Structure 1
Amino acid sequence: MQRSKTNDKRVLVIGLGRFGSSLALELVAHGWEVLGMDSSPRLVQAYADALTHTVVADATDDEALRQIGAQEFTRAVVAIGTHLEESILATSLLVDMGVPHIWAKAVSRRHGRILQQIGAHHVVLPEHDMGERVAHLVSGRMLDFVELEEDFALGKTRAPRELIGLKLGESGIRSKHGITVVCIKRHGEQFTYATAETVPQKGDVIVVAGKTNDVERFAEIS
């Protein structure tokens, strides 16, 4: 079967542990067809009614993957985390099959580098990323934090005093702090795009973008 491209809403999720099952259920909730695969009959049975399809199979077995049609998917997620050898081998087999978009869970940066080296298109470190995110929330004034790449982030914080009553275009915020205000939220309202004419008020929540260190420093301004 020839794989379709942009309109293909099917995903193969290998590994139905906490991360894999949560991901699979969320995809189903958003209208995707999910084939959930795990070597544990108990886990497969637990999600048999919630996912589109489930199968008990060994993801390190090339023939088993081909029998379930892994090579026909445009998207696959290797959600195996604790068994590094299985994670690496399953990812390698999907790469060899030519699956165009492969996400792979890693439990460490070293594991992630290996997955990238063998051809995974996207590497996810859920525990590391969540730990880093929560650390920012606990240790400072940041209301939320997402690192998009290794040195670029988005941060949600309250507008500091130096911005109150000034048009963003006249505040010099980018030259002073190296960040850009991308959106703003007033009490009782929804987020809206920020422009040069936007005037922050006391209590406004803003989302800023920039180098990770610059975002962190800006969030500490009172």
Structure 2
Amino acid sequence: MSADKRKPVLVVGLGRFGGAVARTLTNMGSEVLGIDSDPHFVQEYAADLTKVVEADCTDGDMLRQLGVADFEAAVVAIGTDIEASVLTVLALADLGLTNIWAKASNAKHARILERIGATHVVFPEQRMGERVAHLLNERLLDFIAFGDEFAIARLCAPDPIVGLPLVTSACRKKYHVTVVGVKRVGEDFIHAVPDTIIFPDDELVVSGRIKDIERFSAI
């Protein structure tokens, strides 16, 4: 679906996480309805989003009046008030929304959200904490984990493979990682092939098990 035909997205809770989601969606071309019970946040985001409303989103009748049943998706970014988070997700599910993203503060909260209708549950603080921990070794430039074991990472080319084509360095056989692509200063990203030669200062995008990626970055 093209950006100009996307249905609007509802974001409930305009704190740090919800506000960032709402602004990013707006920058991507989506219409965003932001709702918060705090007039401070309503005022802060009034000029940035398509529409901002001060309301109690645990009230299903209020949500119905706002027309949220016609929305493409909803993000419930309420983290600290678990009761409000649960009641909001429940109200949205009762209105028929089938794409509900919800922020959870702990595992028990997440299980409740999933059982009452949340289709995606996220732990933004936990995810960011894990990401920062992996980046602290200063060898990894960026890091995205998939589950508990696998990841895609961006890192500086380790010295032992510089000057060699990938077929010779045999990263997959020796280090159990796959070099997906290469980015050089002043050049476009290129997809890696067996005869791609790695130059000094190249940045690599690699995939594999987290422990293997970290071991590879340190060789």
Measured after TM superposition, the shift of residue 140 of structure 1 is 4.5
Q: Is the 8 A contact 1:38 1:58 kept in 2?
A: yes
Match of 2:146 among 135, 145, 148: 148
Q: TM-score, normalised by structure 2?
A: 0.90
Q: Which structure 2 residue ranges, 5 or more long, are not aligned?
A: none
Q: Describe the SS at the equivalent of 1:195.
A: coil
CA positional deviation for 1:157:
1.0
* Distance (Å, rounded) in 1 between the aligned partners of 2:214 and 2:111: 26
RMSD: 1.9
**CA apart distance, 1:208:** 0.7
Larger displacement relative to structure 2 (116-125 or 84-93): 116-125
Q: 1:101 and 2:107 equivalent? A: no
- Residue 9 of structure 2 is matched in structure 1 by 11
SS in 2 for 1:103: strand
1:62-211 matches, within 5 Å, as: 62-211=60-209
Q: Over residues 79-126 of structure 1, what are the superposed CA-to-partner deviations in whole Å (9 max), with x where a residue is unaligned? A: 111111211221122223221211111223443333233332222221
User: CA 1:58–1:207 in structure 2 vs 1: closer, same or farther (change >3 Å)?
Assistant: same
Aligned length: 216
Task: Read off the aligned partner of 1:82 and give its amino acid letter.
Answer: T
Instruction: Letter of the 1:18 partner, please give it.
Output: R
Change in Cα spacing, 1:107 to 1:190, as seen in structure 2 (3 Å) is farther
Give the TM-score of the pair, scaled to structure 1.
Answer: 0.89
> What's 1:41 paired with?
39
SS at match of 1:157: strand
- Seen in structure 2, the aligned counterparts of structure 1 residues 162 and 13 have a Cα distance that, compared at 3 Å, is same
Unmatched tracts of structure 1, length 5 or more: 1-5
Aligned counterparts of 1:59 and 1:44: Cα–Cα separation in 2: 14
Cα distance between partner residues in 2 of 1:8 and 1:32:
7
Contact 2:142–2:155 (8 Å) recurs in 1: yes
- Tell me, yes or no, if the aligned pair for 2:141 and 2:153 is still in contact at 8 Å: yes
Q: Secondary structure at the match of 1:207?
A: strand
User: Which secondary structure does the structure 2 equivalent of 1:139 belong to?
Assistant: coil
Residue by residue, what CA displacement relative to the aligned partner does 1:13-54 show, whole Å, maximum 9, x if unpaired?
000111111211121122110000111122212211221011
